[in-house]
A and B are shown apart, each in its own frame.
Chain A
Amino acid sequence: MPYWYYDKKDLQNTPSYREGIPNDTENRYRKEGARFIIDTGSKMDLGYNTVATGVVYFHRFYMFHSFRTFPRYITACCCLFLAGKVEETPKKCKDIIKVAKSLLTEQKFGTFGDDPKEEVMTLERILLQTIKFDLQVEHPYGYLLKYVKCLKGDKAKLQKMVQMAWTFVNDSLCTTLCLQWEPEVIAVALMFLAGKLSKFEVVDWNGRQPKHNAWWDMFVEDITMELLEDICHQVITELIGATRIGKIVSKINVGRSQCIKWIAL
């Protein structure tokens, strides 16, 4: 099976970059594409797994092709179409296109060409080859649920923490984190972030051994604080971009300064 994780240098030197698209622009395209898959998926009542699988296909696709060759919104549709079938929640291609049309400006929908459905069909074959038919994708969601079961502490606080971590995983889809780290690592980092922001400190957990310094040592080996902070930083940066930070701050009842401190990690 192919290896789908890249270091930061690879993520800067992408096919889009080599065709003259600056990294910032590419990241914006990635974010817009991912957000569009999330919006289209939720409008069609597709589950979080299907949506996340579609987004991962999308990010992987653009490690091999440029945004100049393949406009982002139709690729996004194609990724969601394939993810629907793979995750056993199939949606008709024409229905996805219909929802896409309702969400996009006329100019953006124009990139779908004269026959959008045919475009998606052709694109699907290219997508399948590009992702090497590596269809099954794991996401951090399942790991969040697995981890929280082992943590000890106030039930309500744990619940609040895992809910917050869950929304962070959603936000992480708009970043290239799924091209950098395994879902287990992302789950640990975002649970860590949620713990910090909800002021819940995990002091004990089931299955604790003397060699464990932190709860996550039980699940993933060799996670450094530096790595956790880097992942949190990427998600928080995304939150700022999405202007949702204010909402987060008010919702979780931590001071803005606390958040800023985290952002400034």
Chain B
Amino acid sequence: MQGVSAPREPTQQVISTTSTILNMREKEKYIEDFDFPFCDESSKYEKVAKIGQGTFGEVFKARARNSSKKFVAMKKVLMDNEKEGFPITALREIKILQLLKHENVVNLIEICRTKATLHNKYRSTFYLVFDFCEHDLAGLLSNVNVKFSLGEIKKVMQQLLNGLYYIHSNKILHRDMKAANVLITKNGILKLADFGLARAFSVAKSGQANKYTNRVVTLWYRPPELLLGDRNYGPPVDMWGAGCIMAEMWTRSPIMQGPTEQQQLILISQLCGSCTPDVWPGVENLDLYNKMELPKGQKRKVKERLKPYVKDPYGCDLLDKLLQLDPAKRYDADTALNHDFFWTDPMPCDLANMLAQHTQSMFEYLAPPRRPGHLRHHHHVAGAQAKPTQPVQDSGYQDRVF
């Protein structure tokens, strides 16, 4: 325990509260010198390169200065524009990462700080320190030299669904599924990453719906219920993302690259059919059902349009089950893992051998821009190649709380 030195006699018997309080200068000195026993200084790591931009700050690759020379990823907690102190989103991410310990979820090692000095007005900067992963899925998919066999695609999806099964069992929604947030180590272990938008969910009790923000999930991976203003959503939002990522394993770029929320809905309707109460009971009650333009008479063409890429009929069938418009009909992670896709030849096979041929770390952030989507419909609007809208602005967190 802390402070085990022998007790000394109190030097004063009566302490008046106000007269003995340290002045500002003394307090600054105290903060500068205090050796926080549980929070190491970030200088124990040496930054190597910037590898990305998280939802609330930059991410760096760094190396431990101690003998382990271990590589880590350091995610800076951006606090410059925070009126309300340490961002609630960062607190959420930390809480969630401390709870989630699983092979297919990125591992938070510790939280580090810079030393508080006059230079930073006695305010430390904080870093979340993670085990380093060599690749992210978006980076791998954008590299034409990286080829996934069917067995390897199965392994990727199996690990991704295992991760989702685990986090959903722990009542956590990821809310930002996309290829760039799926990391893969050089040993072929997949890790779900970036819980910056994640939150705990509860099963809504009757008559008491949850009110979560629908401004989550990068647009191209955003499920129809969010685009229609649902605020009482659940794990199916992540399963839609899993479906988009699965298709991307073959198409190699995001399958629906809408430039706006409206366009994204149109692209979804063109692939998955019209959003009607027939295929999706209750859709008519969603807030934006009457406010958005919803294409009518569209047939569902998921299998038909993905078949040229996917070929494997089990793969096509699982995609069809994940890209269901009605969240209630969409497969959950457990059901998906039991799908024949994972239990027929070729069986899922290890990625390590394939990855061993690619020694360069591949991150989307560092990779050249990806090609526009293969699946875009013939009458797409101008500007469709624009970057996907981030779920939130970079500054401020108010917008994405609750």
Residues of A at under 8 Å CB distance from B?
1-3, 6-7, 10, 12-15, 17-18, 20-22, 25, 63-65, 68-69, 71, 81-82, 85-86, 88, 90, 92-93, 107-108, 110-111, 113, 120-122, 124-126, 128-136
Contacts and interface: CB of A to CB of B under 8 A. Distances in A.
Nearest to B12: A20
B365 interface: no
A12 B86 contact: no
B392 interface: no
B86 A124 contact: yes
Given A22-B13, A68-B20, A68-B22, A90 B88 contact: yes
Contact of B11 (A15, A20, A121): A20
A68 B21 contact: yes
B122 A122 contact: yes
Contacts of A81: 85
B86 A85 contact: yes
Contact of A125 (B1, B14, B30, B116): B116
A129 B124 contact: yes
A13 B3 contact: yes
21 contacts: A10-B2, A13-B4, A13-B5, A18-B7, A20-B11, A20-B15, A21-B12, A25-B15, A63-B2, A63-B3, A65-B34, A68-B21, A111-B21, A124-B86, A129-B36, A129-B113, A129-B124, A130-B36, A132-B39, A133-B94, A135-B95
Interface in B35-70: 36-39
B80 interface: no
B38 A2 contact: yes
B86 A128 contact: yes
Contacts of A85: 84-86, 88, 91
A69 B15 CA distance: 13
B99 interface: yes
Contact of A133 (B3, B22, B30, B39): B39
A136 B4 CA distance: 26
Contacts, number: 119
A129 B30 CA distance: 14
A130 to B, nearest CB: 6
Q: Chain B interface mostly helix, strand, loop or mixed?
A: loop
- Identify which of B11, B13, B91, B126 gathers the most chain A CB atoms within 10 Å of its CB: B91
Shortest Cβ-Cβ A-B pairs, 9 listed: A132-B38, A20-B11, A129-B39, A13-B7, A129-B36, A85-B88, A20-B12, A20-B10, A124-B85
A14 B122 contact: no
Contacts of B91: 82, 85-86, 135
Contacts of B20: 68
Nearest to B122: A122
Contacts of B18: 107, 110-111
B395 interface: no
A114 B250 CA distance: 61
Nearest to B200: A88
B59 to A, nearest CB: 18
Given A129-B36, A133-B94, A69 B22 contact: yes
Contacts of B37: 64
B212 to A, nearest CB: 11
Contacts of B375: none
B357 interface: no
A195 B23 CA distance: 50
A158 B139 CA distance: 60
B100 interface: no
B15 A10 contact: no
B86 A129 contact: no
Given A68-B20, A85-B91, 7 more contacts: A18-B7, A20-B15, A71-B17, A120-B85, A122-B122, A133-B98, A134-B98
B3 to A, nearest CB: 6
B3 A14 contact: yes
Contacts of A68: 15, 20-22
B17 A111 contact: yes
B27 interface: yes
Contacts of B116: 125
B1 to A, nearest CB: 5
Nearest to A128: B86
Given A10-B1, A15-B3, A92 B84 contact: yes
Contacts of A7: 1
A129 B38 contact: yes
